[in-house]
Amino acid sequence: MEDSKDDIYSENLINIFDSIKKQTKKCYTINTMKNLFPVLVWLPKYNVKLLLPDFVAGLTVGLTAIPQAIAYATVAGLLPQYGLYSAFMGCFIYIIFGTCKDITVGPTAITALMVQAHVTGSPDYAVLCCFLSGCIILCLGLLNLGVLVRFISIPVTTGFTMAAAITIASGQINNLFGIRSTSNQFVASWCNFFTHLREIRMNDALLGVITLIILLMMRKVKDLKCSRYKMFTKYISLSRNALAVLAGILLCYLLSNGDWLPFRVSGEINPGLPPFKWPPFSTTINGTTVPFKMMVSNLGASLISIPLISILESVAIAKAFSKGKLVNATQEMIALGMSNILGGFVSSMPITGSFTRTAINNSSGVKTPLGGAVTGALVLMALAFLTNTFYYIPKATLAAIIIGAMIFMVEYDRIAEIWKSKKIDFFPFMVTVVVCLFWSLEYGIVGGILANVTFILYKSAKPIIIISKEEINYIKIGIVDVMETLCYSSAEYLKSQIMQFIATQTEGNEIKLIILKIQDNTSIDSSVALNILSLEQDLSMLKCRLVCWNWNVCAAGVIYRLHSKGNQLLKYGKSYTKLIDDLKLSSSIIPFDTEEFKLEEI
């Protein structure tokens, strides 16, 4: 009997050991290179049959990437070319380091919005932010600290996405109607819109609203059931943003009259490819040189929030498209970090995995990450040859593209799921949404995380403790089963629960012995141990003994090492009867002076 128990224990231990090994085994094997450069695994196996699907997919993604990049540059408050500068490096780098064939790394609406607050003055801030974010993401990846994003729960990410989408869409509402606006914030944008209603430019408003309606319709086109044109409608739907930009440019060019343009446009942009140079470690604003230290302190908390959000977005997309395989989050973070670091050399703003474009990549049937090369090449070509054309892109068209994308970024189903499954999870969701909208995105996500962490802390302070009563040989004993981990926050709770239990016993049913059982595999900390020793003293004044019953080595060790007395608390065995005999407990009552007790009681 004793043996079999030992066997079960060792069995358990082996299991635990195994899972520990899996996690901690970091020794360098021959596969290290292949892990670090996944391209070494798939490129040698590449064959010509894969070329066509990769090419088609890359092209389709490129047609979305270009208008999106330009649009997100305006969200970030940058000139359009910066969007394109950001859109190619990630594609190339991800080929080398990426593990998921579908992911497209580039500028996204959320990172654009997050960097926007710091761009006022100089685009150098965005570029430095890109470079530094890359360094931070790489470090977090190498240190395996990506697990930090686990503390951003689904309600918080959902709330954050929704708030970001609303903020971004609100920021474009002025552009959609041709109203001048300086802010991209939620409240400020709508204030500006309603106070400047008279300044609506009819041309821009018409173009914007019609483009938006057509975009929304084109999105639905692929769901049409005419199977004959299925391939055609699918590509129309996928390249709708490119078509909208094209239409906008054409319309603007054709209706222009000398210097007069029918719409407000993005304006002059530098032609050509971005120079490959060091990221701007200092910048000049209005003739004043801003040193590196000042730039970093201006970027401030963004240097934490942008990397975290980037990791979150990228890893989430990798998981969504992993099709049941394990996602190597560390490698994804290395790929993302390298993309941002090298992006910093080509004047990129912070980039991350884009859900839209990844989905397009996937549905276009990409076979390997090589599709990214086609996308990247297309962006480079646009930069080299089309910058003059981009001058004519109407702001209203970009606004329509952005708003059209944001409408579908809100995860309506997810919100419903959270509401249905657990109402209380709506609390961190609402905190995130409200703080994001009315304060800032950074504080919103921090607020949401804090609101959610209180759940964990509350739970840790109130573990489930089941106290039952037994009577053995006329001795009443209380059996305390702690069903969860004990830690310092629950130490006093345990003590007070036991004291209350003792106190609520009726006359003649005094508990003589408390048997404290904790779970296998859990340990305790010194606060718990000290509270248990103090509980033992308190109980002894009520003529009640305390025993820690069959504790595992880990937890028992803490009690044992603490105090010479600790030793006496720890008892092992199978039957309580034997324990009661050992402790020489009897049901006889030890009388004590009532009068004195009363005085002490006051």
Tell me whether residue 104 or residue 266 sits nearer to a copy of itself (CB atom).
Answer: 104
Q: Which residues pair with 515 in a beta bridge?
A: 479, 547
Residues 88, 348: contact at Cβ < 8 Å? no
- Minimum Å distance from CB 317 to a copy of itself? 13
What is the smallest separation between the CB atom of 432 and a copy of itself, expressed in angstroms?
13
- Min dist CB 467 to a copy of itself, Å, is 7
Shortest Å, Cβ 140 to a copy of itself: 15
CB 355, min distance to a copy of itself, A: 15
Q: Least CB distance from residue 379 to a copy of itself, whole Å?
A: 23
d(CA 443, CA 450): 10
258 or 508: CB nearest a copy of itself: 508
Please list, in sequence order, all residues whose beta carbon lies within 8 angstroms of the beta carbon of residue 71, skipping any fewer than 6 positions away.
83, 241, 398, 401, 402, 405
Question: In the structure encoding, which two tokens stand for residue 597, read together?
Answer: 């007790």
Nearer to a copy of itself, 11 or 471 (CB): 11
Are 478 and 511 in contact, with CB atoms under 8 Å apart?
A: yes
CB of 21 to a copy of itself, least distance (A): 10
Using the minimum distance from each CB to a copy of itself, give the nearer residue, 388 or 537. Answer: 537
| Pairing mode, strands 283-285 and 288-290 | antiparallel
Q: Whole-number minimum distance, CB 367 to a copy of itself, in Å? A: 5
- Angle in degrees, CA 338, 310, 362, rounded to 5: 85
Residue 466's beta-bridge partner residues? Answer: 481
**Which phi and psi angles does 543 have, rounded to 5°?**
60, 40
Q: Tell me which H or E stretch contains 403.
A: helix 395-407
Which residues does 581 contact at the CB level (< 8 Å), separation at least 6? Answer: none
Give the CA count within 13 Å in the CB-facing half-sphere of 211: 33
What whole-number distance in Å separates Cα of residue 98 and Cα of residue 81?
A: 26
Taking the C-alpha atoms of residue 132 and residue 129, their distance in angstroms, rounded to an integer, is 5
Strands 288-290 and 352-353, by their bridges, are unpaired
CA distances from 9 to 41, 209, 283, 522, 573 (A): 41, 69, 63, 14, 15
* Least distance CB 561 / a copy of itself (angstroms): 5
Q: How far apart are CA 59 and CA 65, in angstroms?
A: 10
Residues 569 and 548: their CA atoms lie apart, in Å, by 6
Provide the minimum distance between the beta carbon of 8 and a copy of itself in the complex, in angstroms, as a whole number: 5
Q: How far apart are the C-alpha atoms of 163 and 160, rounded to whole Å?
A: 5
Nearer to a copy of itself, 196 or 367 (CB): 367
Nearer to a copy of itself among residue 201 and residue 367 (C-beta): 367
Amino acid at 378: L
32 or 540: whose CB is closer to a copy of itself? 540
The answer to whether 520 and 485 have CB atoms below 8 angstroms apart is no
CB of residue 94 to a copy of itself, shortest distance in Å = 13
Please, which residue, 214 or 533, has the CB nearer to a copy of itself? 533
- For the chain, give percent helix, strand, coil, nearest 5: 65, 5, 30
Contact partners, residue 343, CB within 8 Å, separation at least 6: 86, 89, 90, 130, 131, 134, 349, 350, 351
> Toward a copy of itself, which CB reaches closer, 10 or 284?
10
Residue with Cβ nearer a copy of itself (122 or 322): 322
Q: Considering the complex, state which of residue 8 and residue 191 has its C-beta at the smaller distance from a copy of itself.
A: 8
